[in-house]
């Protein structure tokens, strides 16, 4: 009997030993695999490092003049179960693909739809701003919860939803709601698409979402099509024989704000082959000028693009009678995107424009060179009412 017990103990010890050995062989230790990187051709605010058994998502410059960099370790469920890592080395450990997500900007919605994962969206601050019909159906069916305002997210509801990740954006890195969420153990990733300085760089952030859903290949395919269509429209615009002079922006109080020559908006106008009158300025952000400076330079501009939030000539004149002195006002050649909105008032351009610069560029080419896109129907920009 004693002999049998010794044999049984020996077998159990052996099984335990081999199980430990097997587990040890399966364990993944971070930084031991060979790195490959997903190509990011335009965007500068994020990078993706693919290793054999895990992925690292790096975020840099998520808001203007930011010196903060973030690093997130991405693991599949299988990898997470056998991985060893130091949590202090990362700003978040995220299991992919994401099953439940909260985003905080309408510019994030098109990426989810283009990757066909909008059903994972469970919460959004300010759902009325969302214009997409597909996502509105989810909102109407209560699949997407209202979370208040971005600067003051209803953290109680969000914590109840318990998403896998919250994709936020920050103007300066101080958002108490996002800090509270992060401290609760829910990873928060800052998306800096809006800081990028070119239209295609902004659009390339679909790859950021692609890696979170294990859909990097699909994200790359979608972006390549957008890039191709954009470059094709840019090439077409070079065939124009007439180069119109263009004004943009409008007054806010006593200051006229308009895009700097280094902005994505100015890049779009340049690629549409127009003479944007401030295209040679190199200031960061918007230009802030007085009325006299703008009028002197642009009183005879052929086209006026995006006169702030004004949707009609009547509203523009009511805001400032001096607007009527511009030739573009007299000739009714002012174009705006503010009148293209979803059923709850969300402006479509603010949602889709970042993800689809190819459509924005075609709109501008249609305005400036209608003979080149006779059969094209504008998506965002239309004549002022």
Enumerate the CATH 3.40.50.1980 domain ranges in the chain, comma separated: 28-226, 240-367+374-383
Alpha carbon 12 to its chain's center: 56
In the predicted model, residues of the chain with pLDDT beneath 70 are 1-36, 150-151
User: Which CATH code for domain 240-367+374-383?
Assistant: 3.40.50.1980
Q: How far is CA 357 from CA 199, 202, 264, 268, in A?
A: 6, 9, 10, 8
pLDDT digits (tens, 9 = 90+) for 253-297: 899 999 999 999 999 999 999 999 999 998 887 899 999 999 999
DSSP 15-35: HHHHHHHHHHHH-EETT-SPP
Q: How many CB atoms lie within 10 A of CB 136?
A: 18
Give the whole-angstrom CA distance, residue 303 versus residue 277. 11
> What is the structure's pLDDT at 47?
95
pTM equals 0.89
pLDDT digits (tens, 9 = 90+) for 75-105: 998 888 777 788 888 999 999 999 999 999 9
Q: How far is CA 342 from CA 46, 69, 97, 102, 138, in A?
A: 31, 36, 30, 21, 14
In degrees and rounded to multiples of 5, residue 334 shows phi and psi of: -105, 135
Cβ(306)–Cβ(246) under 8 Å? no
> What is the structure's pLDDT at 288?
95
How does DSSP classify residue 116?
Answer: T
End-to-end CA distance of the chain: 98
> What is the structure's pLDDT at 176?
85
Cβ(342)–Cβ(136) under 8 Å? yes
Burial 144-167 (b: 16+ CB within 10 A, else e): bbebbebeebbbeebeebebbbbb
Element (H, E) at 50: strand 46-50
Q: What angle do CA 100, 106, 107 make, to 5 degrees?
A: 100
> What is the structure's pLDDT at 35?
63
Top CATH class, 28-226: alpha beta
Which residues partner with 211 through β-bridges?
A: none
Token readout for 328 is 């573009």
For the beta sheet containing 36-37, the strands, ordered from the edge strand earlier in sequence to the opposite edge, are 36-37, 46-50, 55-60, 69-76, 92-96
Cβ(147)–Cβ(124) under 8 Å? yes
3-state secondary structure of 306: coil
Does residue 97 have a cis bond before it (omega within 30 degrees)? yes
């Amino acid at each position: 009997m004693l002999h049998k017990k010794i044999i049984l103990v020996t077998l159990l010890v052996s099984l335990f030993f081999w199980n430990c050995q097997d587990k040890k062989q399966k364990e993944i230790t971070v930084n031991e695999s060979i790195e490959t990187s997903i190509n990011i051709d335009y965007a500068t605010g994020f990078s993706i490092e693919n290793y054999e058994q895990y992925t690292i998502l790096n975020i840099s410059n998520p808001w203007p003049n930011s010196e903060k960099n973030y690093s997130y370790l991405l693991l599949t469920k299988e990898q997470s179960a056998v991985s060893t890592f130091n949590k202090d080395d990362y700003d978040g450990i995220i299991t992919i693909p994401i099953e439940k997500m909260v985003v905080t900007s309408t510019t994030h919605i098109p990426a989810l739809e283009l990757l066909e994962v909008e059903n994972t969206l469970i919460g959004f601050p300010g759902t009325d701003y969302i214009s997409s019909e597909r996502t509105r159906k989810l909102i109407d069916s209560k699949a997407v919860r209202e979370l208040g305002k971005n600067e003051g997210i209803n953290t109680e509801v969000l914590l109840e939803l318990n998403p896998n990740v919250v994709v936020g954006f920050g103007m300066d890195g101080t958002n108490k709601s996002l800090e509270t969420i992060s401290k609760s153990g829910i990873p928060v990733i800052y998306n800096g698409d809006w800081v990028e300085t070119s239209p295609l760089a902004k659009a390339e952030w679909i790859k950021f979402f692609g890696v979170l859903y294990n859909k990097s290949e699909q994200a790359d395919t979608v972006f390549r099509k957008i890039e191709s269509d954009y470059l094709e429209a840019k090439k077409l615009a070079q065939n124009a024989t007439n180069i119109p002079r263009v004004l943009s922006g409008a007054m806010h109080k006593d200051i006229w704000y308009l895009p700097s020559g280094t902005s994505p908006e100015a890049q779009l106008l340049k690629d549409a082959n127009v003479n944007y009158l401030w295209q040679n300025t190199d200031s960061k952000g918007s230009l802030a000028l007085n009325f006299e400076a703008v009028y002197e330079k642009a009183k005879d501009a052929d086209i006026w693009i995006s006169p702030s939030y004004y949707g009609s000539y009547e509203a523009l004149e009511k805001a400032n009678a001096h607007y009527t002195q511009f030739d573009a006002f007299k000739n009714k050649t002012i174009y705006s995107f503010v009148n293209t909105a979803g059923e709850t008032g969300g402006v479509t351009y603010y949602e889709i424009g970042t993800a689809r610069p190819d459509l924005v560029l075609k709109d501008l080419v249609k305005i400036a060179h209608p003979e080149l896109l006779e059969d094209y129907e504008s998506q965002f920009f239309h004549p002022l009412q």
